Amino acid sequence: GLNAFFAFVVVGAMGISWQTGMGAIFWGAVGLFLLTLFRIRYWMISNIPLSLRIGITSGIGLFIALMGL
pLDDT at residue number 50: 97
CA distance 25 to 3: 11
What's the whole-model pTM score? Answer: 0.68
CA-to-CA dists, residue 68 to 62, 64, 65, angstroms: 10, 6, 5
pLDDT tens-digit readout, 17-57: 989 988 988 999 999 999 999 999 999 999 999 999 999 99
pLDDT at residue number 5: 84
CA distance 17 to 37: 30
